[in-house]
Amino acid sequence: MENTLLLSAGYEPLKILDWRRAVTLVLLGKVEVLEEYVREVRSPSMAIPLPAVVRLHRYVRRHPQRVKFSRQNIFFRDEYTCQYCHKKHPTSQLTYDHIVPKSRGGRTTWTNIVTSCVRCNLKKGNKPLSTLNYRLLKEPEEPKWLPTLSQFLNVDSAPSVWRAYLGDWSAQSNEA
C-alpha cells in the first residue's frame, strides 16, 4: 500500500507516514489532505481516498527532538567540508576528528567533533589545535535540524504526486 508524505504547517516535508497513520490523522482532523491517490480505503461505513500528501493544521511545538549523533550527521552539519582545510571532499575522503584529542580528555560530542579530510586528520594527529596552523571553519554546535527527509528520501522513487512538495530538497540530496 502507498505511504503518505506529511508536511508541516509551513509546507516543509516532515516525514513519511504509513497510510493507516495518515488516515487516522485525517479522521482526527489533525491534517488537511493536499493530494490523494486514486485508491480508496473502505470500512463498512465509509470510503475515503488514500491521502498522498497531508499537511499539519497547526505549527506543532514538539519536544525538541535531538539530532542523532552520527558520522553522517556530522558530515551533513559541516556540509561535507573539512573544518581544517576548508575544502569540500567526497565522503570517502572524510573522517571526523576530535578537536581536543581523546588522549587529552576530549569528548565525543557535537562540540568537540568536526568533519576532517583524511589528510588533515593525519596531519593533526593527537596535537592540540593551538599548536597547529588550523583555524576551524566554524564553531561546532549541536544542530537544530532533523535531516530526516533530505537525507533518506530517494526522490526518484517517491510517488509523483509528492514531487511538487519536495522541491528544493531533492536538489539538495542530489548535490550531496
Contact positions vs Zn ion (CB under 5 A): 82, 84-85, 117, 120
CB of 23 to Zn ion, least distance (A): 49
Q: Which is nearer to Zn ion, 41 or 137 (CB)?
A: 137
Burial 104-137 (b: 16+ CB within 10 A, else e): eebeeebebbbbbbeebbeebeeeeeeeeebeeb
Return the number of the residue (8 or 93) whose C-beta is nearest Zn ion.
93
Three-state DSSP class for 43?
strand
CA pair distance 10, 15, nearest whole angstrom: 14
- Minimum CB distance to Zn ion, residue 114 (Å): 10
Nearer to Zn ion, 137 or 161 (CB): 137
User: Cβ of residue 94: shortest distance to Zn ion, in angstroms?
Assistant: 9
For residue 7, list its beta bridge partners: 13, 55
The nearer residue to Zn ion, 132 or 171, going by C-beta atoms, is 132
Least distance to Zn ion from the beta carbon of 136, Å? Answer: 11
- CB-CB contact of 153 with 136 (8 Å): no
List CB contacts of 18: < 8 A, sequence separation 6 or more: 3, 4
Number of CB atoms found within 10 A of residue 81's CB? 20
